[in-house]
Amino acid sequence: MSFQIDLSDRLKELPPYLFKEIDAQKAAVRKQGVDIIDLGVGDPDMPTPPHIIDALNAAARNPANHRYPSYSGMGQFNQSVANWYQKRFQVALDADQEVVTLIGSKEGIAHIPLAFINPGDLALASSPGYPVYHTGVAFAGGKTWFMDLVKSNDFLPDLNAIPADVAKAARLMFINYPNNPTSAVAGKEFFQSVVEFAKKNDIIVCHDAAYSEIAFDGYKPISFLEVEGAKSVGIEFHSLSKTYNMTGWRLGFAVGRKEIIQALGKIKSNIDSGAFQAVQFAGMAALDGDQTCLDQINAEYQKRLNIVMDGLDSMGFSARRPKATFYVWGEVPKGYTSTGFASHLLTRAGIVVTPGNGFGAAGEGYFRIALTMGADRLKEAMDRIRGVI
């Protein structure tokens, strides 16, 4: 008699995770002996700065850090976060009540719906957008109403286009600027409109600011919390992953209104044991230390951006030069769908780009390039694409 395994409804209804599918396609092409240039996943290829590694090494040797860590983060790390916010954004935070440490911002984004979404409740998220906004809501039993990001509105959601009944029913709103995947940025005027919208409709705003420190041509992204009233309606997620090339270290944080932060902390206390303390000490070295390393990282991304934009422009692609993030969001050539163009580049040129529709229906017609390969490989990638279009 065979043993039958039946998946939960939430898993059955969940679409395949985008990058897992891309990995399977890459593996199939690689088996054919193709040298693949992967411009798909946003995983920094540059190493973590040495002073951060040194701090980890020292902390890892201390037996006091080998035990269970605090659920909400070490007091010293949370204070470093508060100090960094004051220096970087001129935003004052109470480290004890308005900061929570995360095992990477993805963990917090996925878990925040568990604190505020009941089965059947509604959340707002962008399309295209980071898939975890929707999956976190789905795991909590909620539904997502997608705010389309379109070129004509600079890839900002049109709050006026949200039906009144949807706005009143929504419990959470996920926004993300600088934006993944479109690389769009937002200013104070947009954030102020979000605050007013949230107050009017009693919506908690969850702003994902993971890319605030990767910027070009002198541009300096702002924090949602810089806007008057923002802290009263929401929180901001941040990560050391993209900023300091620490994706594998799994360290992030959320800051903002204390009741929201404490609710997320309560979820965490029932699910995980917090971030490894030695990694938190390394995070303190990153946030408290000399930020020259960021200038060096951004200078490298700037060089890579120039290569990609020059290449795409010379081939006639429509792609706006980004002010921030390490992504280029371009329109696929006429005659292609997003998936069709990505498949064409992979099979004909050994180039991986991310199809825009993988981030939501409104991403159809676009593709995303990640600047997480060295300059020589990016030049080669542009040459290969030129040969197959």
- Alpha-carbon torsion 4, 9, 14, 17, what sign? negative
CATH (domain of 279): 3.40.640.10
Left, alpha or beta for 279 (phi > 0: left; psi -120 to 50: alpha)? Answer: alpha
CATH (domain of 312): 3.90.1150.10
Location of structure tokens 């789905």: 138
Q: How far apart are CA 45 and CA 246, in angstroms?
A: 10
- Taking Cα atoms as reference points, which of 247, 231, 206, 14 lies closest to residue 112? 206
Helix H or strand E encompassing 366: strand 366-370
Give the three-class secondary structure for 99: strand
Domain that holds residue 320: 9-47+292-386
User: Are 323 and 281 in a shared domain?
Assistant: no
CB 249 within 8 A of CB 241: yes
User: Are 23 and 63 in a shared domain?
Assistant: no
What is the identity of the amino acid at 232? S
DSSP string, 119-135: TT-EEEEEES--THHHH
At residue 30, the pLDDT reads 87
At residue 2, the pLDDT reads 76
Strands (E), the chain: 37-38, 99-102, 122-127, 143-148, 170-176, 204-208, 234-239, 252-256, 327-331, 351-352, 354-355, 366-370
User: Are 267 and 306 in a shared domain?
Assistant: no
CB 177 within 8 A of CB 210: no
Q: How far apart are CA 228 and CA 218, in angstroms?
A: 25
Residue 3 lies in a domain: no
User: pLDDT truncated to tens, each residue of the chain (389 aa)?
Assistant: 678 898 888 888 877 666 677 777 888 888 888 999 999 989 999 999 999 999 999 999 999 999 999 888 999 999 999 999 999 999 999 999 999 999 999 999 999 999 999 999 999 999 999 999 999 999 999 999 999 999 999 999 999 999 999 999 999 999 999 999 999 999 999 999 999 999 999 999 999 999 999 999 999 999 999 999 999 999 999 999 999 999 999 999 999 999 999 999 999 999 988 999 999 999 999 999 999 999 999 999 999 999 999 999 999 999 999 999 999 999 999 999 999 999 999 999 999 999 999 999 999 999 999 999 999 999 999 999 999 99
Q: What backbone phi and psi angles, to 5 degrees, belong to 376?
A: -65, -40
Query: What's the helix, strand, coil split of the chain in %, to 5?
Result: 50, 15, 35
Q: How far apart are CA 322 and CA 210, in angstroms?
A: 16
Residue 229 lies in a domain: yes
Residue 215 lies in a domain: yes
Strands (E), 134-242: 143-148, 170-176, 204-208, 234-239
User: Are 137 and 103 in a shared domain?
Assistant: yes
158-181 core/surface letters (b: 16 or more CB in 10 A; e: else): ebeebeeeebebbbbbbbbbbbbb
Q: What does DSSP assign to residue 55?
A: H
Torsion of CA 188, 200, 96, 179, to 10 degrees: -40
Question: How many C-alpha atoms does 135 have within 13 Å on its Cβ side?
Answer: 18
User: Are 323 and 277 in a shared domain?
Assistant: no
Give the three-class secondary structure for 332: coil
Q: How far apart are CA 294 and CA 239, in angstroms?
A: 14
Measured between alpha carbons, how far is residue 244 from residues 295, 342, 373 in Å? Answer: 11, 29, 16
Residue 205 lies in a domain: yes
At residue 279, the pLDDT reads 98
Answer with the one of 222, 253, 288 that is the final residue of a domain.
288
Answer with the one of 288, 307, 336 that is the final residue of a domain.
288
User: At a CB cut-off of 8 Å and minimum separation 6, what does 54 contact?
Assistant: 285
At residue 17, the pLDDT reads 66
- Taking Cα atoms as reference points, which of 76, 80, 65, 96 lies closest to residue 289? 80
User: Are 360 and 296 in a shared domain?
Assistant: yes
Q: What does DSSP assign to residue 215?
A: B
What is the identity of the amino acid at 45? D
- Which two three-digit tokens encode residue 63? 């037996």
User: Are 70 and 181 in a shared domain?
Assistant: yes
- Which two three-digit tokens encode residue 253? 């944080």
At residue 19, the pLDDT reads 66
CB 66 within 8 A of CB 279: no
User: Are 341 and 245 in a shared domain?
Assistant: no
CB 356 within 8 A of CB 318: no
User: Are 250 and 125 in a shared domain?
Assistant: yes
Residue 2 lies in a domain: no
Residue 316 lies in a domain: yes
Location of structure tokens 């279009």: 389
Measured between alpha carbons, how far is residue 380 from residues 28, 148, 228, 331 in Å? Answer: 22, 34, 47, 20
